[in-house]
Amino acid sequence: MLLKQHGGDLFKAMAGMFQDIISDAPDKKNLPFLKNALLNMTHKVEHTFAGMFSSSMMDDSLDKISPLINKKYLNISEDKELFYVMQILTSVTIRNFIEKFSRDLTDEEAINNYTSELTLLKYGLYRKTEE
SS (H, E, C) 22-43: HCCCCCCCCHHHHHHHHHCCCH
* The residue type at 105: L
The answer, yes or no, to whether residue 118 has pLDDT greater than 90, is: yes
Q: How long is the chain? A: 131
What's this model's pTM, rounded to 2 decimal places?
0.76
Instruction: Please tell me the predicted confidence (pLDDT) of residue 91.
Output: 87
The answer, yes or no, to whether residue 43 has pLDDT greater than 60, is: no
DSSP reduced 3-state for 76: coil
Task: Collect all residues with Cβ–Cβ distance below 8 Å to 95 and sequence separation of at least 6.
Answer: none
